[in-house]
A and B are shown apart, each in its own frame.
Chain A
């Protein structure tokens, strides 16, 4: 079975500061890794995904994540956040190959303050 742990339920940060949202996963088989974002009153939007290849993945809105197989982590980073980045962020895994369900972490609420 697979599981995802998002280590911080809430992360407050000031505008233009860097941020890292942490995600660890557990799986005995190969997985794909995702970060989704949910802005207030909207659906989930894909930020970035890791399927294979380069372990540093760049996504939309200046976010990036690094896949670390030895530490089973997929932390999300942004060097300088904006007020508009205030949202809830979800890390998810999916068993690779075929059409498999997503397994989500509990989410991290990022609050960017002026």
Chain B
């Protein structure tokens, strides 16, 4: 069974540009989460999808961030326009049940210069 995959693994963009991160959850997992770790600080929650619906987007930092999950399968996280403080590692996770177990992807390291 394939795990959670994320693309790209690294992205370097200039301030003001747009970047789209993609996450493919484990097949059959209705729950998909995005997290971010900025500059060695704690990993922080961004948002949670249940199938294609946003269950909780309380962690989204501002309206430059747009997450979608069309069809309830893969998800994209777009940052437009990117700012320097958006640099960090973006993790995606998926889960299937209420046991609290989330399966994490390897992350996308975003560098905004």
Contacts and interface: CB of A to CB of B under 8 A. Distances in A.
Interface of A: 4, 32, 34, 36, 41-46, 49, 51, 90, 92, 94, 96-107
Closest 5 CB pairs of A and B: A44-B104, A43-B106, A101-B45, A104-B43, A32-B100
Contacts of B93: 44, 102
Interface residues of B, number: 29
Contacts, number: 62
A51 B101 CA distance: 10
Contacts of A96: 100
A107 B35 CA distance: 15
B33 interface: yes
Given A43-B91, A99-B50, A107 B42 contact: yes
B103 to A, nearest CB: 8
